[in-house]
Amino acid sequence: MHQLRFARLGICVAAAAALTGGCAQLGSQLGYYAQAAHGQFSLLASARPINDWLESLQADSPLRKKLLQAQQIRQFAARELSLPDNRSYTSYAQLTQPFVLWNVVATGPLSMEQKHWCFPVAGCVSYRGYYDKTDAQDYAKALRDEGFDVQVGGVPAYSTLGWFNDPVLSSFIQYPQGEFARLVFHELAHQVVYVKDDTQFNESFATAVEEMGVERWLASHGDFRLRQTYQEFQSRKEDFLRLLLKHRIILEENYQRVASDAEKLQRKQDIFRQLRDDYQLLRLDWGGYAGYDRWFAEPLSNAHLASVATYHEFVPAFRALLDQEKSLPRFYAAASRLADLDKVARRGELAAISKRIRPVDAEASTLSLTLTNTKCLASPCGGR
């Protein structure tokens, strides 16, 4: 979640003032930046070095075991994956809430096109984050009053792209080991390469790094049970995302057909009912696993499915680029060169790499689905 990159608050607020018009709009923007800055700095203030936590915890403490695991994963990221060797994920913060922030996503009632918000540093993104759930819900209500479909989703982690030393958080410390490693590798990858206004590129790159990183982590640190647990988690995630993509496509077909708005709205409700029914069947196939129940806890809308897309469309291209470059430093340098291109040229280069991939690999990439809010949907988001 990159809209909260507030390294120099004064500059950001001044930029916001220059980019907004009207006193009411300016006041709203400054209020939003104020809550974001307060939330970020409060988070950093609550974080303590992991070593300090280890000294204060009893030897048999479950948290101590997880923090030792976090240290191993962090060291592996720097040593074996050539990811930034800095102070990110070397501290730990115990939150008083289940998520670090809540994202608001909005669409039209008969559209999958997401509303975008633009920020001085991070560019335009399709979500708006709040550290306080009530603030997020209040903003969501205002959007609903304007006629938007809205989702408020909890986020267990986000990256400040190296501007701050991101801590390990209680919102994800209890994740299974493979999923925990995946998240850390993904967030650190954003510190290596990040392009303003190109979420697809950023997420594809970070996902390629995380997938490769977890493969190497499990090969060197995982036993049979750990690898099996991660494979089961990945399988359920793919099943769930495939289900969402299927119904997103059906909704889009509904909105594009020749019919009255009233007919489309009625069909929309039928599709969402079918989605809920299909999810219950999927849970039975999983043996009753309820990790994604939280996602269905509120009334569903277009906003819940709008972000489902092949945001990992270029993951196979990045994996091919890694094979081509032979080493991670060379791979990161090649990705940085792509990042320096304009968006059209960058997409052209990635498309050219994708065309050279074997058809079976290209077909497999269609299963690599995610949400803009990957930290939430692609993980069980508090459904533990």
219 token code pair: 């090969």
Range with lowest mean pLDDT among 68-72, 118-122, 163-167, 314-318: 118-122
CA distance 285 to 287: 5
Task: Return the pLDDT at 121.
Answer: 63
Tracing tokens 């690898």 back to the chain, one arrives at 227
Rg (CA), the chain: 21
Looking at residues 276-284, what average pLDDT do you find?
Answer: 96
Return the beta strands (E) in the chain as ranges.
48-49, 91-93, 101-107, 117-119, 123-125, 128-130, 149-155, 168-169
Mean residue pLDDT across the chain: 85
Range with lowest mean pLDDT among 69-83, 158-172, 301-315: 301-315
User: What three-state secondary structure class fits 118?
Assistant: strand
Looking at residues 104-132, what average pLDDT do you find?
Answer: 87
Which one of 2-16, 85-99, 366-380 scores highest in mean pLDDT?
85-99
Burial classification of residue 280, based on how many CB atoms lie within 10 Å of its CB (0-12 exposed, 13-18 middle, 19 or more buried): exposed
Task: Return the pLDDT at 1.
Answer: 42
For 194-228, write each residue's pLDDT tens digit.
Answer: 998 888 899 899 999 999 999 999 999 888 888 88
Band the pLDDT of 67: cuts 50, 70, 90.
Answer: very high
Torsion of CA 66, 70, 71, 73, to 10 degrees: 130
CA distance 85 to 75: 8
Q: Which amino acid is at 333?
A: A
For 316-346, write each residue's pLDDT tens digit.
Answer: 899 999 999 999 999 999 999 999 999 999 9
Asked whether 69 and 62 are in contact (CB, 8 A), the reply is no
CA distance 255 to 168: 42
Task: Return the pLDDT at 253.
Answer: 97
Predicted model pTM: 0.81
CA distance 278 to 243: 8
Farthest CA pair distance, the chain:
66
Which one of 153-162, 164-173, 353-362 scores highest in mean pLDDT?
164-173
Task: Return the pLDDT at 119.
Answer: 76
Looking at residues 232-240, what average pLDDT do you find?
Answer: 90
Task: Return the pLDDT at 312.
Answer: 63
Name every residue whose Cβ is closer than 8 Å to that of residue 100 and which is 6 or more positions away in sequence. Answer: 43, 131, 155, 156, 157, 158, 169, 171
Count the Cβ atoms, other than its own, within 10 Å of residue 251. Answer: 22
Q: Which amino acid is at 106?
A: A
Which percentage of the chain shows pLDDT scores above 90?
Answer: 63
Task: Return the pLDDT at 125.
Answer: 78
pLDDT tops 70 at residue 34? yes
pLDDT tops 70 at residue 116? yes
pLDDT tops 90 at residue 165? yes
- Alpha carbon 246 to chain centroid, angstroms: 20
pLDDT tops 60 at residue 62? yes
Count the Cβ atoms, other than its own, within 10 Å of residue 286. Answer: 16
